[in-house]
Chains A and B, each alone.
Chain A
C-alpha cells in the first residue's frame, strides 16, 4: 500500500538549517503533486509548501517563503524540505502528504500522510 516515511528531524539552534526527507512507495511518485504540512506542539495543522509532479512548480506559505525550499527526486521517489534560518516558531511535527487530484486535474485533498518527523528549534 501507499507509504510515506519522513526522516531528518531533530534539535537545531535558531538560525540553523535542517533537511527533511520523505521516502515514498507503492505509487507512481512523479504523477503526483506532493506537499509538506506541519503541526506545532498542541496546535493545528498548517500547510507550508507543495511541488508539482515534475518539480517545475512550487508554492509556499508566507510563514516559510524565502527560508524553506521544497524539492523532489523522482528517480528516488523522494520529497525533500530544506529549512534554513530556522526560528523557534518553526518547532513542529512535519508531515509529507500526497495530493489527490480530481478528474479535471485540480488539486483536491491530502489523501496519504506520513507519520511525521519532529523538528525542535531551541538554543
Chain B
C-alpha cells in the first residue's frame, strides 16, 4: 500500500481539463512544500512535470499546474491532448521513517 493515495484512473476528452488528487498526512503532503508530480508513458522513465507543489520545470507545458490544500495535493491538466495519456505519480518529502514517498499512480485515459 502506497503512502500517498491517488485515484487509480481518471479520464477526459481532448480539450477538457482533469484533476488528479494526492492525499497524504500532515507528516508529508500537508507538512512540506516538497510535493512533485511525474508523468510516465508506457515503457519509459518518469518525467518531472511539477515540483514544490506548483512550479514547472523549464520545457513543461503550462497546461500542467499543481496546487495543495491541507493534506491533499492536486495536479490539473487543462486542454487535454492525446499525448497526455500516461500514468501520473505524486511524490512528497516525509518527516516519518521513509523520507520520500510516492502515490500509487493514476492512469489517465484521453478518450
Interface of A with B (CB < 8 Å)? 35, 37, 44-47, 50, 59, 61-62, 95, 100, 102, 106-116
Contact = CB atoms under 8 A, between A and B. Distances in A.
Contacts of A115: 44-45
B105 A107 contact: no
A109 to B, nearest CB: 4
Secondary structure type dominating chain A contacts: strand
A107 B34 contact: yes
A50 B100 CA distance: 10
A109 B51 contact: yes
B95 interface: no
Most chain B C-beta atoms within 10 Å of own C-beta, residue among A46, A50, A114? A46
Interface residues of B, number: 24
B48 A102 contact: no
Contacts of B57: 111
B34 A109 contact: yes
Contacts, number: 62
B52 A102 contact: yes
B104 A59 contact: no
Nearest to B48: A111
A45 B45 contact: no
Contacts of A95: 45-46
Given A44-B104, A46-B102, A108-B52, A113 B46 contact: yes
Nearest to A102: B52
Contacts of B48: 100, 109-112
